[in-house]
Chains A and B, each alone.
Chain A
Amino acid sequence: MNHSRAEVLVLGAKTETMRWRKPALSEPSFRKVLSIAGAFILLLLLAIFFSLVIASFPSILNFGIRFLFSSTWDPVRSEFGAFPFLLGTLATSFLGLVISVVFSLPISIFLGEYSVPGTGATFIKSMIELLAGVPSVIYGFCGLFLLAPLVRALELKLGVTPYGVGIFTASLVLSIMIIPYSASIGREVISLVPSDLKEAALSLGATRFEVIRKVILPYAGSGIVAGILLSLGRALGETMAVTMVIGNTNFIPKGIFSPANTLASVIANEFTEATGSLYLASLIELGLVLFIVTTIINLIGKLIIRRMGVEG
């Protein structure tokens, strides 16, 4: 009895270890799984790129490079050019980025360095992350019904045509939408700055402000820039919120208060009712242009980060 029980126990232990071992992957096959996952992403991106190219072929053949520089978008006469939308996309994204940096940089410094860890800081942190979870249509509605009247009042004071909607309003909405992205990455990299560096500076008599300016910002710079660029990617592709507050006109914008249109918002607006193969292909080519613009900006970002490369 005892003997057999011990046997059972041993057997049980064996199967126990077997059970634990079985799902564990061996080193080579684990690597294989990882590389498949990596290759899959690459494949997915290539597939997106090529399907965009193939679907926009009629338009590429018809308009060629003119598509990028023509400023007429006339679905009735099948004349399509992306220039005003390209301009609108870049203008809203960069303006939004500039506005957001004004807020996100102090937020990340505050949360990463200044604030005392505790419920207060955690609360602020989670509030900021909550901003990222708000659906963009909500931002759009808030922009249209709360922000646009304020912008209109401002425009009346400045003496420009009081549309209320336009590039400036869209940029404001975008800037709020992208703050969580740049702020949380900024906070993360700032809190990663080694404390001996900071302590060394403090022991030399530096003030906290000097520590931030001379130690933390140079050290965390590339990470902060990376966060900002990540949020730029988000701004370039944002559709719903921008569509609601940009004014949706197909003219080349005359200033930051002009109504305009972006690549993403034109696609969102016109795709459902687009008939005719050239019209559809042109809309898809807008998507291709957006894809390429985003890629180029990401590459430039990578270059900047490499230039700034962390030393020390």
Chain B
Amino acid sequence: MNHSGKSLLRRGRNKFLGLITILLVSIVFGGIGHAKDVELIGAGATFPYPLYSKMFDVYHKEYGVKVNYQAIGSGGGIRQLINKTVDFGGSDAIMTDKELAEASAPVIHIPTCAGAVVITYNLSGNPQLRFTPDVIADIFLGKISKWTDRRISSINPGAKLPDTNITVVHRSDGSGTTFIFSGYLSKVSREWKEKVGAGTSLNWPTGLGGKGNPGVAGLVQQTPGSIGYVELIYALQNKMPYGMVKNKKGKFVTATIASTSLAAETNLPDDMKVSLTDTDALEGYPISGFTWILVYKEQNYAGKSEEKAKEVVKLLWWMTHEGQKYTEPLEYAPLSKKAVEKAEKLIKSISYKSSVIMK
């Protein structure tokens, strides 16, 4: 009796071990079982994350290909791509020459949508303000420190401006938003370029830092006389006031989804490694930028199968075509026609073992 009890116990334990083994095996090899169950892994920018998760969800339902995107930030996405641990990276910033050199193989930048950065402020009565590039630069440099400054009032003749100090609010965390904004200021102001420069994190000459869009928005909404910058999507969703900005062609443009898309109606280079800030486009909003998917041009790396490489290309094609219809409902700016044409060429250049995947 006792013996049989023991062996029963042992058998039970064996059964348990067996179950665990089956479970582990199925976890490890589960993905390989079915031909269609390819999983693609991406990591990077947080800005397009809501759009990407929608796109990848739809894509999974339609094509059975699971795409796992980790929104760890553009910098992290680039690092992961360099380390070859992901199938694609996401970034709001163009890879620097140094990063491209670290990547050892050519990386192509495929735009997926565009976004804009708006100047928001806290003034009583919420006047609709207009800004010129030099005024924005000098406010964020701390050179214009009062709302009553002549340079502000001369472009805003109708607005009632208070006699208070300007409190500048900027992002404290590294972000693509800061990259686009500082990239714009570096283009329009020589002093900004020399003193501060462009990057995801900066050595800010003045002002307070808030963490993330909510942090900046929170500080701006609380501090009378403050000015800050946030993503257009965030301003729209939270009904924050934002100013018009004078573009290169001399036109004051309000940031909208349309004017952000229009910023790309300009001469785009073939590699699409282009900043849209300070665009030549007549109706384009000047503080705009693409967000990109980064992939290796040669997909045969880190033991990747040809099948997987094909799925990457298919996904990219879908994102820049059918997938574009999900941009506007989520308040992202879709790619302009020209941008899609350039993206097509780039996608068609992706190869596996030196032969082009999509003909």
Contacts and interface: CB of A to CB of B under 8 A. Distances in A.
Interface of A: 8, 11-12, 15, 72-77, 79, 144-145, 148-149, 152, 161-165, 243-244, 247-250, 259, 261, 265, 268-276
B203 A259 contact: no
B99 interface: yes
B203 A275 contact: no
Given A244-B211, A249-B207, A272 B76 contact: yes
B2 A273 contact: no
A248 B209 contact: yes
A269 B74 contact: no
Contact of A269 (B173, B197, B203): B173
Interface of B: 1-2, 72-76, 78-79, 96, 98-99, 165, 167, 172-176, 196-204, 207-211, 215, 218-219, 222-223
Contacts of B72: 272
Contact of A249 (B1, B173, B201, B204): B204
Nearest to B46: A272
Interface centre among B2, B202, B207, B211 (most CB of A within 10 A): B211
B235 to A, nearest CB: 19
Given A249-B209, A269-B172, A272-B75, A164 B223 contact: yes
Contact of A272 (B73, B196, B198, B222): B73
B142 to A, nearest CB: 12
Given A74-B203, A243-B172, A274-B201, 12 more contacts: A76-B197, A76-B199, A76-B203, A152-B223, A248-B172, A248-B210, A248-B211, A249-B204, A265-B172, A269-B211, A272-B174, A275-B99
Contacts of A12: 2
B208 A248 contact: yes
A244 B280 CA distance: 38
A77 B197 contact: yes
Contacts of A152: 222-223
A269 B208 contact: no
Contacts of A77: 197, 203
Contact of A273 (B200, B219, B222): B200
Contacts of A270: 173-174, 201
Contacts of A11: 2
B208 A276 contact: no
A15 B172 CA distance: 66
Nearest to A243: B211
Instruction: State the 5 A-B residue pairs at the shortest beta-carbon distance, nearest first.
Output: A273-B174, A248-B209, A272-B73, A248-B172, A74-B203
A79 B174 CA distance: 16
A259 B99 contact: no
B208 A259 contact: yes
A40 B204 CA distance: 43
B44 to A, nearest CB: 10
Contact of B76 (A75, A144, A261, A273): A273
A247 B218 contact: no
A275 B99 CA distance: 8
B93 to A, nearest CB: 8
B199 to A, nearest CB: 4
A19 to B, nearest CB: 11
A250 B203 contact: yes
13 contacts: A8-B1, A79-B203, A144-B219, A243-B172, A247-B209, A250-B203, A259-B209, A265-B172, A268-B173, A269-B174, A272-B72, A272-B173, A273-B75
Contact of B75 (A163, A250, A274): A274
Given A270-B173, A273-B174, A244 B203 contact: no
B75 A275 contact: yes
A259 B210 CA distance: 11
Contact of B175 (A247, A248, A273, A275): A273
Contacts of B165: 161
A276 B198 CA distance: 15
Contacts of A163: 167, 208, 223
Nearest to A248: B209
Contacts of B167: 163
A144 B219 CA distance: 8
Given A75-B201, A149-B222, A165-B219, A274 B208 contact: no
A272 B222 CA distance: 27
Contact of A75 (B98, B176, B202): B202
A273 B90 CA distance: 12
Contacts of B73: 272-273
Contacts of B207: 249
Nearest to A72: B203
A76 B202 contact: yes
A268 B174 CA distance: 10
Contacts of B75: 272-275
A275 B218 contact: no
Contacts of B99: 275-276
Contacts of A74: 202-203
Contacts of A73: 203
A145 B220 CA distance: 12
Given A248-B209, A248-B210, A273 B203 contact: no
A275 B204 contact: no
A103 B99 CA distance: 52
Contacts of A248: 172, 208-211
Interface centre among B1, B99, B172 (most CB of A within 10 A): B172
A259 B208 CA distance: 7
Contacts of A261: 172, 209
A272 B199 CA distance: 13
